[in-house]
Amino acid sequence: MNFTLENKDVDKELDFVFQNPTITNFVDAMELLQKGKNVAVFFDKPLDRTDNFQITQTLPTSLVDIPNAVKKVKLWNQIFQLCPHLVQTQKVIYTNSDKKLFTTAVDATFRHQFNKKIQFIDQTTPSNLSFLKIEKLKGIVFQEYKFNVSRFFIELLKSFEIQGGKIIFEKLLQTNNNTKIVTGTRNNLTHFLIKTTVPDNFSLHTKINDSKLLLWEQRKQLRVEIINSDRKIVNKQSAINNIQQFVSFTKNDLKEEEQLLFLTQKIIKSILNISKLSLTCSFEHSTMNDNYELSLEKFDIAKQTRIEYLDFKILFHRYGSAIDEMIDIAYELMNETRDPKEIWIKAEDLYQKKYEWKL
């Protein structure tokens, strides 16, 4: 397969071109780059720049699963250290988790090692969760994390480019017969979005028949993932039937979406092998525990642009240390307009065009 090259930035003969790479393909591309190969990643459409989160699921399901769960938490903590600002705590309600001996063991283990404590709940389902088909909300609340995987992918691409890789968007690409073309492989994972009123930061994990469901608020809608241990393709109608047993919705309220970015333990290990240092978006020597103080510190600098803290916090957790340059851009834009929404929409756009291949 050959492309036609019209890109002056690509001045070397390419050994490999990864077309529309997934995270797994990207790991392969980075490994080849670090072995001295000339590698490019090629996208024939714009990047998805929406915030796309993945919620960790580290609570063990049985006593024998506790050691593996501990390893899983440690692995997630390692990947979080690459870009702490992309991580936010997320309380998850786990139903079907009321075995006293089990929860006591988990509580002791995770409180000791990770400062996580289980909270037991047994209450009438609150009115703001009326879309749930259960009268009682019974189980435990456990601290998980939500990780912005779409932004993480963009930051990985920046790291790839810094190390000498080529990134090409929506251009014609010419390769010779010695260049190997690797087409991005899709993971075939999907999730469902349901139009209903969902409280901010809601998240619940439950089991219906042979499927585990993860429900959480995404952009004011209810996102539902079918979680099977092998992550195999789930029959769509079977999945919908299981969801209908737990959630009230109409056919017109349901939308299926492809889940393009997903980090498995295997992928996380591969990324850690190729990326030992913090990514460029990270604040130097910062951890997740520093996010709140850092966001307040940066907001104190930016507040004269009249941006609200909650709006600023979204940008802080999206861009990390790049927020400093965006603040400078925002103040310059105040010469053109005093509308804070317009200022920051334009500041974000200008930043993306300068650093993130936005055409």
- Is the pLDDT at 244 greater than 70, yes or no? yes
Residue 167 burial (10 A CB sphere; 0-12, 13-18, 19+)? middle
| Phi and psi based region of residue 68 (left: phi greater than 0; alpha: psi -120 to 50; beta: remaining) | alpha
The two tokens of residue 314 are 């979204």
Sign for the pseudo-dihedral over CA of 110, 112, 113, 119: positive
Structure tokens at 122: 């047994």
For 259-294, the pLDDT digits (tens) are 878 898 999 999 999 876 678 899 998 999 999 999
pLDDT exceeding 90 applies to what percent of the chain?
64
Rg (CA), the chain: 22
Q: Is CATH 2.30.29.30 the right assignment for the domain spanning 16-49+150-183?
A: no
Provide the pLDDT confidence category of residue 3 given band limits of 50, 70 and 90: very low
Every domain of the chain and the residues it spans = 16-49+150-183, 53-147+188-258, 288-355
Strands (E), the chain: 16-19, 39-43, 53-55, 87-95, 119-124, 136-148, 166-169, 180-183, 190-194, 203-208, 211-218, 221-227, 254-258
Which pLDDT belongs to residue 232?
A: 57
Please state whether the predicted TM-score (pTM) of the whole model is above 0.85. yes
For 53-147+188-258, CATH gives 3.30.9
Residue 2 has pLDDT above 50, yes or no: no
Q: Please indicate whether residue 337 or residue 231 has the higher confidence score (pLDDT).
A: 337
**Residue range 106-142, pLDDT digits in tens:** 888 888 888 888 888 999 999 999 999 999 999 999 9
- The pLDDT score that the predictor gives to residue 228 is 66
Return the higher-pLDDT residue of 332 and 233: 332
CB 65 within 8 A of CB 72: no
Quote the mean pLDDT of the chain: 89
At residue 12, the pLDDT reads 66
